[in-house]
Each structure stands twice: as C-alpha cells, then as structure tokens.
Amino acid sequence: MIEYALFIDLMLGVGAVITAILCLAIRDLFQSILVFMCMGLLVTLIWARLGAWDVAIAEAAIGAGLTGALLLATRRRLMQQDKS
C-alpha cells in the first residue's frame, strides 16, 4: 500500500532529476528542447502526486507546452540568422 506510493514518488523524482541533468548535457538543441518538455511532464505528475492540481495544470500548460513552443521558435529564428 504505502510502498507503492513511495516507489512511484521515487521513480518520478529520480526521473525528473535525470531529465534536468540530460537537458543540460545534450548537445543537440532540438533533442534538448524535447527533453525539457518531458521534464515538464514529469514535474506535472509530481505536482499531481503532491496534491496541488492547479499548479499541475499551470505546469502542463505553461511549463511543457508554451515554453517548449517558444524555445522551438527561438531555435528556428537563430538558425535563420546563422544562414543569413
């Protein structure tokens, strides 16, 4: 009963820390942005486990979706600047 809850929390926490490290370690920008989005999803699950459902909604909408889209647009603009 309580062991499963502890196992789920442990897995989510370790996964979030690993994704945060990978996000800084990966050289390719596109892959790094995708890993950042996955970190947003894991943090959303962690907020849900903590019982803060409104923070989880805000994290899912802003942290994973909007920030990822903005980062992708920025990356494309940087590549266009490099070409010109």
Q: Which residues bind other proteins (CB under 8 A)?
A: 1, 3-5, 7-8, 11-12, 14-15, 18-19, 22, 26, 28, 30-31, 34-35, 37-38, 41-42, 44-45, 48-49, 51, 53-54, 56-57, 60-61, 64-65, 68-69, 72-73, 76, 79
Least distance from other proteins to the Cβ atom of residue 7, Å:
5
List the one residue out of 46, 73, 78, 70 whose CA is nearest residue 60. 46
* Burial 28-44, CB ≥16 within 10 A → b, else e: eeeebbbbbbbbbbbbb
